Amino acid sequence: MEKEQQNSSEQETGEAVEETQVEQHSESSPEELGRLLEDARGKADEHWDQVVRTRAELDNLKKRHQRELENAHKYGLEKFVAELLGVWDSLELGYDAAQENHDIEKLLEGTELTLKMLGDTMNKFGVEQINPQGEAFNPESQQAMSMVPTDEVPPNTVVNVVQKGYLLNGRLVRPAMVMVSQATGG
C-alpha cells in the first residue's frame, strides 16, 4: 500500500516536471527543441539497448539453468553408480571363483563381504533396510502376504519376512513383504 502511494506520488511529480518543462520549452527556439528531441531520442535508444541486453541475459540464464537441470537428471546417480561398481566387481570375482574352485567356505566369505560392501554403499546414500522380524505389524512400511495362526507370539506380530523393505532418506521405496501372526481359534 505504501509503495503504491509512493509510486503514484512519484508519477504525479514526474508528470508535473514534464509539464513544467513543456511549458518552459513551448517558448523555446526550434533549435533548442531539436536539441531536446535529440536528447530524448538518445535516452530512448539507451533504454532500448538496456532492454535488449536484459532480455539476452535472461535468455542466457534460462538456457544455462535448463542445461544444468538436464545434467542433474542425466548424471545425478553418477556417485551412486561409481560406488556400486565395486560391488559389481566383487560379485564377478566371486562368480569366477565359484566356476574355478568349489570351496564353499571361501564362497560364503566372499558373498558375506560383498553383502557388507553393498549394505555400506546403500547406507552411504541414505538407503535403509526394513527387516521387521518379530516386530508389531506396521501397514505404513509393511505389506502382509498372509496370516499365520499361532499362539507363540501376540497377534499382529511379523513372524516371517518374505522380502525386506527399503527406505530412501526416510521415504518408503518398497514395503517389506511379511507374514503376520493371527490368534488361533482355540
Is 172 among the domain residues?
A: yes
Q: Please give the tally of structural domains in the chain.
A: 1
Give the tens place of pLDDT for each residue, 155-170: 999 999 999 999 999 9
In whole angstroms, give the CA distance from residue 119 to residue 128.
Answer: 9
Round to whole Å and give the CA distance between 140 and 160: 17
Residue 81 belongs to some domain of the structure: no
What domain range includes position 138? 126-186
Q: Does residue 147 belong to any structural domain of this protein?
A: yes
Q: What is the mean pLDDT of residues 76-103?
A: 85
CATH number at residue 185: 2.30.22.10
CA distances to 16, 22, 23, 43, 44 from 37, rounded to whole Å, are 19, 12, 15, 10, 10
**For residue 58, is it within any domain?**
no
The answer to the question of residue 151 being in a domain is yes
User: In whole angstroms, what is the distance from residue 90 CA to residue 98 CA?
Assistant: 12
Q: How many CA atoms lie within 13 A of 115 on its CB side?
A: 7
* pLDDT tens digit sequence for 91-147: 888 888 888 877 888 888 888 999 999 999 999 999 999 999 999 999 999 999 999
Mark residue 156 as left, alpha or beta (left: phi above 0; alpha: psi -120 to 50; beta: remaining): left
Residue 129 grid cell: 533396510
What is the model's pTM?
0.60
Residue 152 domain-assigned (yes or no):
yes
Does residue 184 form part of some domain?
yes
Q: Is residue 109 part of a domain?
A: no
Residue 17 has a pLDDT of: 47
